[in-house]
Amino acid sequence: MIPLPMREIAPGAVHVPGWLTLDEQRRLVRECREWARGPVPIRHTVLPGGGVMSVRTVCLGWHWQPYRYTRVAHDVNGRQVAELPGWLADLGRRALADAYGHSVAYEPDTALINFYDGQARMGMHQDKDERSDAPVVSLSIGDSCLFRFGNPQTRGRPYTDVRLASGDLFVFGGPSRFAYHGVPKVYPGTGDPATGLASGRLNLTLRVTRPAVTYPNSSSDSVRRSVRSTLAGSSSGPST
């Protein structure tokens, strides 16, 4: 087995070139085509200021509309977005485990799928609409691009430029989760048509938009204290 040349670009930001097999890329391209059809079709997101993103986006699980996540796509056709399939969440867990070298509890509830034609770009931004600091898993398919990974403080320097190619995995967690980043350029004609994508670039990101519900263990001290104080204050407590 040949280990993949993994690279930690910054603390918590791990690039794993060629992580997806060609078969996995082909399946994702096929599924993305279906998701792009609906129930909420892929579209150019319109920003509150009236700007239109050059990238086209379709969402699963929760719908992103700047700058919030909703179940219903009020800005497209008023329909509820498709569910995030379990196999895609599984793929996200496997991605995190491979990038970080150990398995982790990870329950992504949302996928954003971006399609770039040769002219599309994404300006430097932070992803801050998620109510969780869980890592973001990014998968690229099709044409290569120039990906600019910055810092959590400013849009500008210092940043690191990385070329992302078809099949690449990138994980953004820990201190890198709120770094500025963008896609200044796509390189047309660099993708392998065998993925099923003749031109352009697909990027899938898996995200946790709301904190997972956790139930305290009934034997925990905080629960026992709470039960004790509830019983102490009630008139119908256990008969003694």
Q: Environment class of residue 67 by beta-carbon count within 10 Å: exposed (0-12), middle (13-18) or buried (19+)?
A: exposed
CA distance 44 to 54: 6
Residue 81: contacted member of Fe ion, ligand MD3, none (CB under 5 to 8 Å, by partner type): none
By CB under 6 A, residue 203 contacts ligand MD3? yes
By beta-carbon proximity to ligand MD3, the closer residue of 25 and 114 is: 114
Residue 205: contacted member of Fe ion, ligand MD3, none (CB under 5 to 8 Å, by partner type): ligand MD3
Please answer whether residues 26 and 194 qualify as being in contact, where contact means their C-beta atoms are separated by less than 8 angstroms. yes
Residue 114: contacted member of Fe ion, ligand MD3, none (CB under 5 to 8 Å, by partner type): ligand MD3
By beta-carbon proximity to ligand MD3, the closer residue of 122 and 165 is: 122
Which residue reads 């989760």 in tokens?
177
Cα-flanking dihedrals φ and ψ of residue 27, to 5°? Answer: -65, -45
Distant-in-sequence, close-in-space partners of 181: CB < 8 Å, separation ≥ 6: 124, 125, 126, 147, 148, 149, 150, 172
By beta-carbon proximity to ligand MD3, the closer residue of 7 and 224 is: 7
132's torsion region: left (phi>0), alpha (psi -120 to 50) or beta? beta
Closest CA to 94 of 133, 52, 139: 139
Binding mask 129-148 for ligand MD3 (x = CB under 6 A): -------x-x----------
Binding mask 68-107 for Fe ion (x = CB under 5 A): ----------------------------------------
**Shortest distance (Å) from residue 181 CB to ligand MD3:** 4
**Shortest distance (Å) from residue 196 CB to Fe ion:** 25
Closest CA to 124 of 154, 152, 155: 155
By beta-carbon proximity to ligand MD3, the closer residue of 177 and 185 is: 177
Structure tokens at 59: 């969402």
Site for Fe ion in 114-153 (CB under 5 A): 127
Footprint on this chain of ligand MD3 (rule: CB under 6 A): 112, 114, 122, 127, 136, 138, 170, 172, 176-177, 179, 181, 183, 203, 205
